[in-house]
Amino acid sequence: MGWTVDDMPSQEGRIAVVTGANIGLGLETTRALAQKGATVVMACRSKSRGEAARRQLLDEGLTGLDLLEMDLADLRSVERAIDVLSDQYGHLDLLLNNAGVMAPPRQLSPQGHELQFAVNHLGHMALTQGLLPLMASQTDARVVSVTSGAQYFGAIRWDDLSWAKGYDRYGAYGQSKLANVMFALELHNRLQSENSSVKSLAAHPGIARTNLQPAALASGGNRWEAMAYRLMDPLFQSAGMGALPQLHAATAASAQSGEHYGPSQLGGLRGSPGQCRIAPTALDPSKRQRLWDLSDQLIRA
Ligand SMILES: NC(=O)c1ccc[n+]([C@@H]2O[C@H](COP(=O)([O-])OP(=O)(O)OC[C@H]3O[C@@H](n4cnc5c(N)ncnc54)[C@H](OP(=O)(O)O)[C@@H]3O)[C@@H](O)[C@H]2O)c1
């Protein structure tokens, strides 16, 4: 029997921020952390969807759930969220960079970046940079970046990060999810070189039944894509199982900074969490630093 929510240590007294907490893996992550006693700030882009999810968890008897409105596509919204969190909580123990969007038609964020790169990578990087000071003095503070098996086919388009030419919906998703694991490892290195005690880990869920694929189909899919998802359907695991790698990375005593967790069966598609392979590009320090510097410039522009 592999690692489950029952194996999670107590989170009493800890404060966690979960992005995209209203549905899917974020909701399961929130539920598990709250069950173990954490105060969870549910960071959601829609106040009404966030409040509905919070109500659902309160109706289950859980407590310690707060709501924060934040649109990761908009760096100004992320800045406002950082201010609110700094004012209201003063310190944080866990940051789960979970929210994500997959394969929409090409759209630009308010600051002019391709939507998936903006939401999945830039927004989370800006959020993390703003929240690290709140985590610095905490014991066992952790940042978990949620990536995907898409990192293995993803490539960084160094000269066209926003896909001005030849936009490919899944290519841009792969780029953003590769960026997530590159960010997690680069953050780990930077924290270590500053002698910070904050840990940075990455996790991916395999393939889990959430709103990610239906939303991708609804926004830009065709019948071939719908058929491919139908054929893959038996492989999908539950959202609860999909959330385990990120929960393991966030809470297991054995999980160390710089590690990457994912399902351990069927080539990383499903099963209990274990350490898993990292895309070669993310193992290249010069590429990680280049992405960090480029992203930093875009965030500060
Ligand atoms: N499910 C899988 O098979 C799978 C596989 C690999 C990786 N992942 C990764 O797992 C993570 C969680 O995805 P999921 O499967 O749980 O998908 P999901 O059910 O679609 O949930 C995605 C969450 O992200 C939020 N979100 C989207 N755009 C946002 C924005 N601009 N600002 C703030 N929040 C935003 C969504 O909010 P709304 O509800 O308001 O849209 C939702 O809460 C993602 O990073 C995804 O890339 C999932």
Beta bridge partners of 190: none
Domains of the chain, by residue range, sit at 5-294
Give per-residue pLDDT as tens, 171-187: 999 999 999 999 999 99
Q: How far, CA to CA in Å, does 213 sit from each of 9, 134, 206, 228, 244?
A: 32, 34, 13, 11, 19
Q: Can you tell me the distance from the alpha carbon of 96 to that of 94, in angstroms, rounded to the nearest whole number?
A: 6
Closest residue by Cα to residue 167 from 100, 218, 220: 220
Q: How far is CA 85 from CA 26, 80, 128, in A?
A: 18, 9, 12
CATH of the structural domain 5-294, one choice from 3.40.50.300, 3.40.50.720, 3.40.50.620, 3.30.70.20: 3.40.50.720
- Asked whether residue 221 carries a pLDDT value surpassing 80, the answer given is yes
**DSSP three-state, residue 136:** coil
Mutational pocket test of ligand 1: of 30, 111, 209, 210, the residue with most ligand atoms within 8 Å of the beta carbon: 210
Q: What percent of the chain has pLDDT over 90?
A: 99
- Among the atoms of ligand 1, which is closest to the Cα of residue 45? 33
101 within ligand 1 shell (Cβ under 6 A): yes
Lowest-confidence region among 80-89, 186-195, 219-228: 219-228
Closest residue CA from atom 5 of ligand 1: 207
Flag whether pLDDT at 257 surpasses 80: yes
Residues 65-93: tens digit of each pLDDT: 999 999 999 999 999 999 999 999 999 99
CB atoms within 10 A of CB 59: 8
Which segments within the chain are labelled E, that is strand? Answer: 15-19, 39-44, 65-69, 94-97, 142-146, 199-203, 260-265, 270-275
pLDDT digits (tens, 9 = 90+) for 34-74: 999 999 999 999 999 999 999 999 999 999 999 999 999 99
Please state the rounded mean pLDDT for residues 93-110.
Answer: 98
Query: Which of 117, 99, 98, 97 shows the shortest CA–CA distance to 107?
Result: 117
CB 40 within 8 A of CB 21: yes
* Statement: residue 165 has pLDDT above 90: yes
Q: What confidence score (pLDDT) does residue 1 get? A: 73
Do the bridges between strand 199-203 and strand 15-19 make them parallel or antiparallel, or are there none, so unpaired? Answer: unpaired
Give the residue from 35, 258, 21 showing the smallest Cα distance to 143.
258
What integer best gives the mean pLDDT of the chain? 97
